[in-house]
């Protein structure tokens, strides 16, 4: 077996650059109301970049760079010329398109939503790019060098890790099992011609859609484009929900331990759009503590603290399980703390837990449940 591995032929590696840029269309320029969000991806073999850069620089800038030429500021003729130059060197081109999501507020939830949608706009297309390149190159390793305009990542997250570095890690995870290797970097479009080409591409796509809406058949893109349209049906998108949980935790300031736990919990999950359910939710630890607490309910101060903890725990479980709560679940526990009432509250809490035992939850809610139980277990440990 060892000799067989030693003499196996080495897999050939094909290397590509992926250039990414964005564009936005507006319902009304006068009102500045956004309508659609576009992300463009150009996949180009790395060995052809030097020739492409030379030709692009000569034709677009006439070998004398002055000011960056962007799709929004150039004529249709110039826009088409830029893409004609790219065409012979191009492997694949993709557009990810979704409606813009805008609530007219500056709440934390809206900020989280915008951040998640930004991450999602890169993850889904890169998954598709990996699948297509793998189908075209079945028996080789793939190395993908991803270049993203740094202005695209005007992240609303305070932590740098959970903006570009998070995206980098997610992208890496997507290819680990497929012999796909990545480099990832953000760059200034003024310094990177590949980003300028992606800008010309996504801008041309946006213009074509606008022309088509007015029955104008003007064509600016001279090559085939794989278009991905996202309707933002959040409830059916597992990856979206997982990302929302991660970004939400990050922006609401959890402890480093919480983030470490969550990252472990998400391992191998971000490349799947389906929910996964555990067979049972484990309440054994807290159930044992409630049994132990029954032996101490003769102390009024103990009872008062215990009842307060149990009422808080019950509210937390009610919120996590939401509309999945069974009908017989007792939502409002008694806050009286004499011995009889305290024992009744313990018994009701135990009944509630038993009823929740087999209810299935999503990945994110299971994580929230674990955090909640861990917090209340610590409180009970101090009390007991």
* DSSP output for 230-299: ----GGG-HHHHHHHHHHHHHHT---HHHHHHHHHHHTTTTT--S----S----HHHHHHHHHHGGGTT-
103-118 burial, b at 16+ Cβ within 10 Å, e below that, comes to eeeeeeeeebbbbbbb
Assigned domain for 352 exists: yes
301 and 186 in a single domain? The answer is no
Assigned domain for 112 exists: yes
pLDDT grade for 92, boundaries at 50, 70 and 90: very high
- What is the rounded distance in angstroms from the CA atom of residue 26 to the CA atom of residue 184? 30
Residue 332 or 179, more confident:
332
pLDDT grade for 277, boundaries at 50, 70 and 90: very low
227 and 292 in a single domain? The answer is no
Residue in 182, 159, 161 with CA at minimum distance from that of residue 171: 182
Assigned domain for 269 exists: no
- What is the rounded distance in angstroms from the CA atom of residue 324 to the CA atom of residue 191? 53
Assigned domain for 257 exists: no
Assigned domain for 357 exists: yes
Longest dimension (CA), the chain: 89
pLDDT computed for residue 77 by the predictor: 94
Assigned domain for 317 exists: yes
Total structural domains within the chain: 2
For the full predicted model, state whether its pTM sits above 0.85: no
Assigned domain for 242 exists: no
206 and 328 in a single domain? The answer is no
- What is the rounded distance in angstroms from the CA atom of residue 40 to the CA atom of residue 38? 7
Residue 180 or 160, more confident:
180
Assigned domain for 247 exists: no
Residue 325 or 274, more confident:
325
Range of 317's domain? 284-383
Q: Which of 211, 233, 255 lies at the terminal end of a domain, its last residue?
A: 233
Give a three-class secondary structure readout of 167-234.
HHHHHHHHHHHHCEEEEEEEECCCCCHHHHHHHHHHHHHHHHHHHHHCCCCCCCCCCCCEEEECCCCH
pLDDT computed for residue 221 by the predictor: 95
160 and 288 in a single domain? The answer is no
Question: What is the CATH classification number for the domain harbouring 19?
Answer: 3.30.420.10
């Amino acid at each position: 077996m060892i000799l067989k591995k030693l003499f196996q032929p080495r897999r050939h590696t094909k290397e590509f650059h992926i250039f990414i840029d964005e564009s936005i269309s507006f319902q009304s320029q006068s009102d500045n109301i956004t309508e659609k969000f576009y992300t463009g991806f150009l996949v180009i073999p790395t060995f052809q970049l030097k020739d492409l850069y030379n030709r692009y620089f000569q034709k677009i800038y006439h070998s004398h760079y002055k000011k960056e030429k962007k799709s929004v500021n150039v004529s249709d003729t110039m826009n088409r010329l830029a893409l004609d130059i790219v065409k012979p060197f191009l492997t694949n081109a993709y557009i990810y398109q979704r409606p813009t999501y805008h609530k007219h507020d500056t709440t934390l939830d809206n900020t989280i939503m915008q951040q998640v949608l930004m991450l999602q706009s890169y993850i889904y297309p890169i998954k598709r790019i990996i699948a297509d390149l793998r189908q075209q190159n079945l028996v080789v390793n793939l190395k993908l060098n991803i270049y993203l305009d740094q202005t695209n990542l005007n992240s609303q997250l305070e932590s740098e890790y959970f903006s570009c570095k998070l995206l980098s890690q997610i992208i890496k995870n997507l290819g680990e099992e497929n012999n796909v290797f990545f480099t990832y970097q953000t760059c200034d479009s003024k310094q990177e011609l590949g980003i300028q080409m992606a800008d010309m591409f996504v801008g041309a796509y946006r213009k074509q859609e606008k022309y088509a809406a007015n029955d104008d058949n003007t064509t600016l893109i001279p090559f085939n484009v794989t278009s991905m349209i996202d309707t933002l049906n959040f409830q059916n998108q597992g990856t979206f929900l997982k990302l929302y949980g991660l970004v939400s935790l990050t922006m609401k300031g959890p402890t480093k331990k919480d983030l470490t736990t969550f990252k472990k919990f998400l391992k191998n999950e971000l490349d799947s759009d389906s929910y996964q359910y555990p067979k049972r939710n484990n309440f054994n630890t807290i159930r044992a503590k409630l049994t132990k607490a029954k032996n101490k309910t003769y102390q009024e101060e103990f009872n008062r603290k215990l009842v307060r903890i149990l009422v808080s725990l019950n509210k937390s479980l009610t919120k996590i399980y939401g509309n999945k709560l069974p009908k017989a679940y007792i939502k409002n526990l008694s806050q009286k703390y004499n011995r009889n009432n305290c024992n009744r509250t313990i018994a009701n809490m135990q009944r509630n837990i038993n009823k929740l035992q087999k209810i299935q939850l999503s990945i994110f809610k299971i994580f929230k449940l674990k955090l909640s139980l861990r917090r209340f277990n610590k409180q009970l440990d101090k009390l007991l």
